[in-house]
Structure 1
Amino acid sequence: MAIKKTELYSSLWAGCDELRGGMDASQYKDYVLTLLFLKYISDKYAGDPNGIIFVPEGASFDELATLKGDKEIGDKINKVISKLAEENDLKGAIDIADFNDEDKLGKGKEMIDRLSKLVGIFDGLDLSANRAEGDDLLGDAYEYLMRHFATDSGKSKGQFYTPAEVSRILAKVVGITPETRQDATVYDPTCGSGSLLLKVADEAPNGLTIYGQEMDNSTWSLARMNMFMHNNPTADIRKDNTLSSPYWKNPDGSLKTFDFAVANPPFSYKSWSNGVNLTNDEFQRFEYGVPPGKNGDYAFLLHILKSLKSTGKAAVILPHGVLFRGNAEARIRQNLVTQGYIKGIIGLPPNLFYGTGIPACIIVIDKASAQQRQGLFMVDASKGFMKDGNKNRLRSQDIHKIVDVFNNQIECPRYSRMVSLDEIAANDYNLNIPRYIDSSEPEDIHDLSAHLNGGIPNADIDALEDYWKVFPQMRSALFAPSQRPGYSQSLVEASQVKGTILNHPEFTAFTQKTLALYQDWRKHHQGRLKEIAIGDKPKVLIESLAEDLLARFAQADLLDKYDIYQLLMDYWAETMQDDVYLLVQDGWKVGKGLRELVVKKGEKLKETVDLTIGKKKYKTDLIPPGLIVARYFADKQQHLDELQADCDAITQELEALIEEHTGEEGALTDAQSDKGNVTKTNLKKLIGETTKQLSIFDEDESSVEGEQLAVLERCLELFDLEAEKKKAVKDTQEALDKAVFAKYPKLTEDEIKVLLVEDKWEATLEATISAEIERMTQQLANRVKDLEERYAEPLPQLVDEVEALSGKVDEHLRRMGLEWN
């Protein structure tokens, strides 16, 4: 059975990180990613005379696998990689990491063990069954590892990687369409590991010709390998300083121009001017102004502008300072705006990037429409993100909303607007986004008159107009006009607001209408989901599902369509992606599967146990046992639940009895052990002693001793009943587990489809959408409750209450013979 995609990636990272030792992540990545590249090349092209890379005899990953434990493993790995590099003109690209470096990998046995285990991690990957998505499996693993290495590399060392979420935005706003021709070119002058270029290439169904340049030797090496890993072997990535020594030039020495450009240059690069002729740049990049000598942000932007064709388009990530800094940068900014080159600006959240925590923006350039441009489209997307460890991260919904709004020039309150060039000129060409978009939430202002005289301001109730449009009768159920014009009174106590809303027929109708949108979507796609076949493309599937869900919920009242979209994308990332990935590799038969979890002595289970049969523990990869139980053994589960409820009731009675009769002179105190627990052994002994005492003194059951004996006997009875019920629960649970275990191999393909598609995927999504409706309701209930509580007691009433309480205090003091002036 093929391994789940997320499990593959997490196990790769965990294994590699464990072997890192004290080495810096920014260095260790070169070793790990080189081995992953060699594994990929060997699996894909070894023995293929027509492959894009020739794998000579003795230069495949199989050769490395034989070196485990070898005293010269480091040197021999170097020779294997060197041989592959020489045969494919990859010297200096894939052989940068020195696997015989004792300073980094340790000496003697330490190096042998570390490299042997590292090779073993990749050698243990059985990728023969992983047919889904072709090259994306290991290509995405490469991307996954780079992101984790960037996270661990710290400030200034993680700049080799642009977060994939940000890369997707640039790729989607730069102007590529399904009609973009295959011979169109895309360029990244600071391409890092190439992840940004690859995201752009993904947006071009016909393909693109890729050009890049990177100054750092190690990062350039990553980019070369990354292109092969993502099936873009013809991408031309060159190594040198873009500003001082641009590689891409025409025969006459001028800069080569491209159809598209994307870039994430180093922010505020101080030494950008080294080797650059600022007064007479041979490439004429600074015709709109020379950037400051200690800040290279505009140097990169002007280089990109010069590298675009007359109809070229670009998207560049730069720090927010480029929007408002003065002096030389202000002059450049004014010239770019008046020339009409800037199509728009997208403000991003802070702390997204691995090299810095400062907020950044995306400058979108479009030369094609420069002369007709009358304004810039601005987006303030700074509020949309989630926390991911010590960084912020864009969610799927944040990316989709930014792209939709920008590409369609949709104006949204507090989020986006078209700003005229005249308005920008009136602001001295300062492009700082908060000057044009106020993204702050409206202030919740208290009404002093309402605090003084009572009543709820109609203005506050009117502010909930979006709700009243959907629930026109609910407002009159919650509020009624008061005698004061402009104010209302609450008809429902604060504690009853939510219940009133939930029970209102308009809310019931709203819930049914909203869920109908989901149910129609479910019916439309259910057949497609049940037809998933080996070799299908999971990414294509989720894109079609998500886009249709988004389109349908654009019709929903009150709910944000992007929130609903995110629910699906979260479930896809957490669960559904792995399920689909298994299906497209092994087919529906994988639903029958149960894996026995075998743990070596001294180790702990790394996976949660789904089913225990005797001493054996099992894990299901597709269909949890709970789904089998719910569909086929609901009666047995009900019986088990009833037994458990009876057992819990007995346990509660026993605990209450012990709590009541322990402590000083309690009937059960002497039945406690040294640890403070009442035991059956002590109970029996105490019952015998008490019975004997009653017999000797001929006392009846109504005596103190008789009452104590009754408590003791009841406690012992409850212990026996609890043990009996626990055994019944255990036996019933074991019988149910055996029935479920026996059902798995008997499942038909149709049964598996129902369990997975209907009972797991669709039921889970419906529950999450219902929860989102509940969340929306809670927002309305909370606001109504806040208003009711805020103005419930006007100031005169509070004054009267204070005076009444003060009078009571004075009266008490007088009775005590005290006076308080």
Structure 2
Amino acid sequence: MNKQQLAAKIWESANKMRSKIEANEYKDYILGFIFYKYLSEKEEKWLHEIDYQDEDIKQYVNEEDGDLVHNAHTKLGYFISYEDLFSTWINMGSDFSVDNVRTALSSFSRLISPSHKKVFEGIFATLETGLSKLGDNTKSQTKAISDLIHLINDIPMDGKQDYDVLGFIYEYLISQFAANAGKKAGEFYTPHEVSLMMSEIVANHLKGHNEIKIYDPTSGSGSLLINIGCAVSKYMDKKDNIRYYAQELKANTYNLTRMNLVMRGIIPDNIVTRNGDTLEEDWPYFDETDPVATYDPLYVDAVVSNPPYSQNWEPSGKENDPRYSRYGLAPKSKADYAFLLHDLYHLKPDGIMTIVLPHGVLFRGGEEGEIRKNLIEQNNIDAIIGLPANIFFGTGIPTIVMVLRQKRENTDVLIIDASKGFTKEGKNNKLRPCDIKKITDTVKGRLDIDKYSRKVSKEEIRANDYNLNIPRYVDSSEETESWDIYSIMFGGIPENEIKQLDKFWKEFPTLKEELFQSNGSHASIKVENIKKAVEDNNDVRKFVNEYKTTFAGFRDELKEKLIDNVSQIQIMMEEDRISEDILGRFNNVKLVDKYEAYEIFKTNYDSIAGDIELIQAEGKDSVRQVDPNMVIKKKNGKDTEVQEGWKGHIIPFELVQNTLLKDDVTEIENMRIQIQEISSKYETIISELSEDDKEILGDALGENKDEFVFKNIKNTIKSLKMYGDSEYGTLIDSLKDVEKMNNEEKSLKSDVKKSEEQLQLKTKDTIENLTESDAEYLLECKWINPIIEGIESLPESIISQFEKKVEELTKKYQDTFEDIEREIKKTESELSKMMDELTGSDVDMAAIAELKKFFGGDF
């Protein structure tokens, strides 16, 4: 299975395992064990590299070998004895105990290299102290831990894919725990999509840098830092030239930061972390044992942070703190600007920072208003991005991302209202790939986009008393629907409402006259079939054909890049190249939103990337691989994993069946149709039986007469024959027909089951023996067809939306006020006549007579 499927499987199992333990707590246990597995396997890999065989590891890898421990400290920064390795736990079987874990974690802490104390010291403290919460006694704790380590044992950590699978699963689990952790989620997690958006903005600014320092003063799980490092590394030759600085207040979350950074393959020398209060314990940083040589004032190329919103802090005594002295002190009840100014202070002159803040920082007065004024006057605020509400776990408040710099050439502020771009996912809103791309493109190009973004001058901001509330500058509200009084009374479509479709009339200049007859300020529709008239229009046809030409050759380019070059492709870089190619093709395309095309590509590419990773890690023959299809079934009251057929490792069975094995699928589908027809026929016979026949059946069977056919039709016929064939001959004949059809249905169902089993095996055999050309064809069907078909369908979607708008506009004024009044009177008259036919008591008739006055208008 690919990394997405594996991550989902592990999460589903882990979520069941945690039982009543809070998600916020359980994450520390599973993520801690994943990290321990990573360190264990990293050591085993190193031992194999220095020619240790498995038997040597078992016999000689212990702390009594001082040279080995020293070499491990030099190479890894830690040492784990054979008896404490993760793989040893797995191999112990029923001899494994929670005490093995306690001993191993204690030994790990004792055997950390002195040079790596800052990276590893106390990193398992949360896991170590939390083991007792996994059960009421040693036996139950052992069972819980054993289940957990066997679950995560499936995660590959052999380095073939640069730990990308491990990193993905770790990030995925953190996000899922965050989604289930309520308000506490904000302590350790920034939604991945927001993190990606911030990272792309930072990475674009840092293009061309050979060495980079990045810093997160409220690091949480460390994901923001990692995403920035990943985004920046695309533009660098050496990813080891990125140095990561992190600070986190909560000890268990601080441990997540360090685990996450280490597991992404970042060398320990590039990881500098602190566990402390960012606002109270600022850098300069120095090691207490050598304050002079280790003094580091910390000025970095990028700062990124998602600090706690509007929390209390202590500003007293900080008037001369260099972080705040130029701008002012944030109020005691709201530390938002304290975090912002802290971040800004640590930027190099050419650096950039992005910070997530509550919307209120844009307009609140008092001390915050003064700080905001100073930031604007000193030209630090580069961009403000308004995000959708309810996008962060644990809070529904509207938030923004603010982009700041120490020095800028521009004096304006780019304001973006991105609050309308999201998809609903569970209880939360989520940025889509197209939303992220549009935001980052807008920031990179400092673009003015109607109802979305605008560069606002310093003079305009001053005129608004330094209030940066987004709606003051960008109006993203929808047009309110209006009604034309003349059209309501006399009919016709107002020209000004037709003009609202101006972007279509510009692209289809002859279409308006073909659809509408103008009568001055109003118009009437000229055609009966709007859809046909639109699609037959020459300008519309020209638009569709030109769009197709724009993407001519795109399929072949994707085949060459993704399929022909599958073993060598650099997945992330190729994604960027294809994305830019798609967006570039829209330079001369009107009406179609290029970001919709990007969304289609990106959504599909995420799945493609997973397949490519497998092919690159396992070889091209992985396309011909099938795996057991394991499902969870109840067995003896317990959930048990059992095999139920097979599935493609990369190529889905359904795809093979719908392409290479169409005839087999059609044959089975035809049998299913026959079954439906037979079922319909005999059910019709039963339903058409007379009430007398049904009564006879009830007497004959002494049971529910509506169910006799489906229980035992032979006994039914036999019972009736006992009363004499001549008396019930017709009914018996009908039942014999039903019996014949019922037997035929059973036979067909049996044939379908056999055919499906044969098709399953034939599909397995087909995948395992695919020719090179068939394998490439199936990859094209799976990877490329959805992208091409999705992008090619966009003009049709736009035209369909346009047709709908014209239809709605036509129907809106189709009935005048007079028409409606006439229809009401007609209905009242008809109802009044119907009342004349009613009969009843004197009281009833008096009430009906009174009601008739209302319908007749006689008051």
TM bin, normalised by shorter chain, reads 0.7 to 0.9
Distance 1:763 1:257 in 2: 49
Contact 1:667 1:711 in 2 (8 A): no
Distance change in 2, residues 1:790/1:719 (3 Å): same
* 1:753 equivalent in structure 2: 776
User: Quick one: which of 252, 263, 267 aligns to 1:229?
Assistant: 263
Distance change in 2, residues 1:517/1:284 (3 Å): closer
Shift of 1:345: 0.9
Distance change in 2, residues 1:685/1:547 (3 Å): same
Residue 616 of structure 2 aligns to which amino acid in structure 1? V
User: Quick one: which of 189, 193, 217 aligns to 1:189?
Assistant: 217
Contact 1:351 1:358 in 2 (8 A): yes
Shift of 1:733: 4.5
Residue 825 of structure 2 aligns to which amino acid in structure 1? E
Shift of 1:301: 1.6
* 1:337 equivalent in structure 2: 376
Greater shift, 115-124 or 600-609, is seen at 600-609
Shift of 1:438: 0.9
Distance 1:356 1:260 in 2: 27
Please state if 1:545 is matched with 2:585.
Answer: no
Please state if 1:278 is matched with 2:313.
Answer: no
Residue 385 of structure 1 aligns to which amino acid in structure 2? F
Distance 2:430 2:557 in 1: 32
* 1:162 equivalent in structure 2: 190
* 2:495 equivalent in structure 1: 458
Secondary structure of the corresponding residue to residue 155 of structure 1: helix
Distance 2:12 2:225 in 1: 28
Distance change in 2, residues 1:743/1:434 (3 Å): same
Distance 2:129 2:438 in 1: 49
Please state if 1:151 is matched with 2:179.
Answer: yes
* 1:700 equivalent in structure 2: none
Contact 2:632 2:639 in 1 (8 A): no
Distance 2:404 2:191 in 1: 21
Contact 2:558 2:784 in 1 (8 A): no
Please state if 1:320 is matched with 2:362.
Answer: no
Residue 148 of structure 2 aligns to which amino acid in structure 1? L
Distance change in 2, residues 1:513/1:717 (3 Å): farther
Q: Residues 484-524 of structure 1: CA distance to partner in whole angstroms, max 9, x if unpaired?
A: 4222223455xx54465456666555445444545522211
Distance 1:675 1:432 in 2: 73
Contact 2:312 2:334 in 1 (8 A): yes
* 2:81 equivalent in structure 1: 57
Q: Residues 681-705 of structure 1: CA distance to partner in whole angstroms, max 9, x if unpaired?
A: 86556667878989757xxxxxxx6
Contact 2:693 2:731 in 1 (8 A): no
User: Quick one: which of 473, 485, 502 aligns to 2:520?
Assistant: 485
Distance change in 2, residues 1:453/1:248 (3 Å): same
Secondary structure of the corresponding residue to residue 174 of structure 1: helix
Distance 1:618 1:693 in 2: 54
User: Quick one: which of 279, 303, 321 aligns to 1:261?
Assistant: 303
Distance 2:366 2:108 in 1: 51
Residue 302 of structure 2 aligns to which amino acid in structure 1? F
Distance 1:598 1:164 in 2: 30
Please, what TM-score do these two structures have when normalized by structure 1? 0.87
Please state if 1:595 is matched with 2:627.
Answer: yes
* 1:794 equivalent in structure 2: 816
* 2:64 equivalent in structure 1: none
Shift of 1:347: 1.0
Distance change in 2, residues 1:500/1:193 (3 Å): same
Distance change in 2, residues 1:446/1:79 (3 Å): same
Shift of 1:776: 3.0
How do 1:708-719 residues align onto structure 2 when only pairs under 5 Å count? Answer: 708=731, 711-719=734-742
Distance change in 2, residues 1:377/1:811 (3 Å): same
Please state if 1:558 is matched with 2:558.
Answer: no
Distance 2:257 2:375 in 1: 31
* 2:54 equivalent in structure 1: none
Contact 1:313 1:368 in 2 (8 A): no
Residue 656 of structure 2 aligns to which amino acid in structure 1? I
Distance change in 2, residues 1:769/1:177 (3 Å): same
Q: Residues 700-719 of structure 1: CA distance to partner in whole angstroms, max 9, x if unpaired?
A: xxxxx676566445434433
Q: Residues 634-653 of structure 1: CA distance to partner in whole angstroms, max 9, x if unpaired?
A: 34444444444344333322
* 2:786 equivalent in structure 1: 764
Greater shift, 581-590 or 670-679, is seen at 670-679
> Structure with the greater relative contact order (CA < 8 A, sep ≥ 6): 1 or 2?
1
User: Quick one: which of 138, 150, 161 aligns to 1:108?
Assistant: 138
Distance 1:755 1:161 in 2: 39
Secondary structure of the corresponding residue to residue 585 of structure 2: helix
* 1:744 equivalent in structure 2: 767
Residue 590 of structure 1 aligns to which amino acid in structure 2? S
Contact 1:26 1:150 in 2 (8 A): yes
User: Quick one: which of 368, 372, 381 aligns to 2:418?
Assistant: 381
Secondary structure of the corresponding residue to residue 438 of structure 1: coil
Shift of 1:766: 3.4
* 1:366 equivalent in structure 2: 405
Residue 235 of structure 1 aligns to which amino acid in structure 2? I
Distance 1:382 1:329 in 2: 23
* 1:245 equivalent in structure 2: 281
Shift of 1:433: 0.5
Contact 2:301 2:352 in 1 (8 A): yes
Secondary structure of the corresponding residue to residue 379 of structure 1: strand
Residue 571 of structure 1 aligns to which amino acid in structure 2? N
Residue 658 of structure 1 aligns to which amino acid in structure 2? I
Residue 284 of structure 2 aligns to which amino acid in structure 1? W
* 1:527 equivalent in structure 2: 560
Secondary structure of the corresponding residue to residue 97 of structure 1: helix
Distance 1:13 1:315 in 2: 31
* 1:33 equivalent in structure 2: 31
Contact 1:267 1:319 in 2 (8 A): yes
Please state if 1:583 is matched with 2:608.
Answer: no
Greater shift, 648-657 or 46-55, is seen at 46-55
Residue 378 of structure 1 aligns to which amino acid in structure 2? I
Please, what TM-score do these two structures have when normalized by structure 2? 0.84
Contact 1:347 1:379 in 2 (8 A): yes
Distance 2:392 2:650 in 1: 35
Q: Residues 182-227 of structure 1: CA distance to partner in whole angstroms, max 9, x if unpaired?
A: 3332222222232222222223233433223222222222222222
Distance 2:80 2:711 in 1: 77
Distance 2:632 2:439 in 1: 50
Distance change in 2, residues 1:768/1:706 (3 Å): farther
* 2:63 equivalent in structure 1: none
Distance change in 2, residues 1:124/1:313 (3 Å): closer
**How many percent of aligned residue pairs carry the same amino acid?**
29
Secondary structure of the corresponding residue to residue 85 of structure 1: coil
How do 1:299-310 residues align onto structure 2 when only pairs under 5 Å count? Answer: 299-310=338-349
Distance 1:706 1:472 in 2: 76
How do 1:188-227 residues align onto structure 2 when only pairs under 5 Å count? Answer: 188-204=216-232, 205-206=235-236, 207-227=241-261
Distance change in 2, residues 1:761/1:662 (3 Å): farther
Shift of 1:449: 1.3
Q: Residues 69-90 of structure 1: CA distance to partner in whole angstroms, max 9, x if unpaired?
A: 3262342132243245356324
Shift of 1:127: 4.1
Distance 2:771 2:463 in 1: 71
* 1:422 equivalent in structure 2: 459
Contact 2:387 2:419 in 1 (8 A): yes
Identify, as 1 or 2, the structure richer in helix. Answer: 2
Distance 2:15 2:124 in 1: 21
